Structure 1
Amino acid sequence: MAATLSLDNSLTTVIIIFEVLPELQQKLIEAIKNFTQTVKTQPGFVSANLHQSIDGVKVANYAQWESSKAYQAFIANTEVQAQAEGLLKLGKPDSQVYEIVASESKVGTPKIVERQYFAHFAEFRMSSDKQPRMVELAKEHIKPAMKQKGLVSATFHRSLDGTRVINYGHWENKEAIEELQKQPGFNTQKSPYWEGVAENEFHLYEVVYTETAA
């Protein structure tokens, strides 16, 4: 079953974004796939969804667990975690637990399906005292963004540690993304809506692999 991004937050969402050298990107993806064969047997695992950035410098895993307790048990399993050590030699991970705080879609509840759409991860980093303001700004700007032709869905997540907000979205084509980035408030060079609140890094991805519980 495809991963579903729901505002009810009935599942625990973990987003892991690796920085990687372009020449190691595919090797990292294969290593994560292999590790996922173990992960999918762990109690409470729901899904893993690997994304490959088109520019070659990122790999993202949008993962879901039945509960925070199940995820923490997985993290505490030293035998399983030892199998992941090879991943750290290929890429630098940023791993956080998130909850969905805003979502808009033209196709119903967003789902993650291999190679159905182009996907984006807009990574906002901020001090924890500024995260509430960043969430407010996200909610204010998500509906205007959805007026952009070609944008299928946008879903904002806030990290539970207070230092991240991620906008995960689906697009029909690259041209639509480029057009949105020209609009007032979304142009990174001309007073973007997050200016003074957060630093933003944006990459475009393809969904290259999905896995569900054994």
Structure 2
Amino acid sequence: MPTIAKNNDVITVIIIFAVEPERQQELIDTIIEFLQTTVKYQPGFVSSSLHKSLDGIRVMNYAQWKTLEDYKAFINNSEAQVKAAKLFQFQIHESHVYEVVVSKPDDATLKITEGGLIHLAQFRVKPENQMRLVELEREYVGIGLQNPGLLSANFHRSLDGVHNVNYGQWRSLADFEELLKDPKYKPLNEYWQGLAENEFHLYEVVYTHQQ
């Protein structure tokens, strides 16, 4: 099964689609078909994990490739793009290439498994502020890990400098809701103020494939 860790020798591509709730499953099925017929045969492809947001309006593909050059070769492959025609009817909300810059706890390696509950926090940031945000993420993640329901937190920075994401693995929805209500976790809602715009969704992992 796919894993996330700071020392992984891969690059990460996170593609987030915006979708109407009634078409969420259609989009998931379309991505799976494309993965099974085309993507998994591309040189350098490592893994793909599909997530559906609990509110029904997002689908996320968390993909890993051996190198940035492998991924660029794939997206510039005209034959592969023809086979992706069905996907073009859906709206891409965000798409960036990332590296994992913080993985906590230190002894945790996140294995992406179907049925897992994931909190994905997205931060839109100016390039000059990106590394400062990484420093704050590293500083404040310990507060979140005081909640035993947060199993791991993995912060990613986009290579284009304009996006950070936290991929947090949770034991249960009740644990996450406790974090939102308990005053001791309030700093987690404030550390990024003035540096970034924040959006988050809760996702369920619905499909994984690893070479």
TM-score relative to the length of structure 2: 0.93
- Deviation string 1:6-36 (CA, Å, 9 cap, x unpaired) is 2124111111111111111111000000010
Higher helix share: 2
Match of 2:2 in 1: 3
For structure 1, the 5+ residue unaligned runs are: none
Letter in structure 1 aligned against 2:67: S
Match of 2:187 in 1: 185
Deviation at 1:198, TM superposition (A): 0.6
Match of 1:73 in 2: 73
Deviation at 1:107, TM superposition (A): 7.0
For structure 2, the 5+ residue unaligned runs are: none
CA distance in structure 1 between the aligned counterparts of 2:107 and 2:20, rounded to whole angstroms: 35
Match of 2:25 in 1: 26
The alignment yields a C-alpha RMSD, in angstroms, of 1.4
Task: Report if aligned partners of 1:21, 1:91 keep a CA contact under 8 Å in 2.
Answer: no
Superposed structure 1 runs of 4+ greater than 6 Å apart:
none
Task: Report if aligned partners of 2:2, 2:209 keep a CA contact under 8 Å in 1.
Answer: no
TM-score relative to the length of structure 1: 0.92
CA distance in structure 2 between the aligned counterparts of 1:131 and 1:23, rounded to whole angstroms: 36
CA distance in structure 1 between the aligned counterparts of 2:134 and 2:18, rounded to whole angstroms: 25
Once the two structures are overlaid, the 10-residue window that deviates more, 81-90 or 194-203, is 81-90
In the TM superposition, 1:124-163 aligns within 5 A as: 124-163=123-162
- Deviation string 1:50-92 (CA, Å, 9 cap, x unpaired) is 0000100100011011111111111110110122232131232
- Deviation string 1:115-160 (CA, Å, 9 cap, x unpaired) is 1x31111111111111111111111111121111211111000000
Q: What is the percent sequence identity of the aligned residues?
A: 50
CA distance in structure 1 between the aligned counterparts of 2:28 and 2:105, rounded to whole angstroms: 28
Aligned residues: 207
Once the two structures are overlaid, the 10-residue window that deviates more, 204-213 or 102-111, is 102-111
SS at match of 2:187: coil
CA distance in structure 2 between the aligned counterparts of 1:88 and 1:138, rounded to whole angstroms: 34
- Deviation string 1:153-198 (CA, Å, 9 cap, x unpaired) is 11000000001000001101112112222322124xxxx1111111
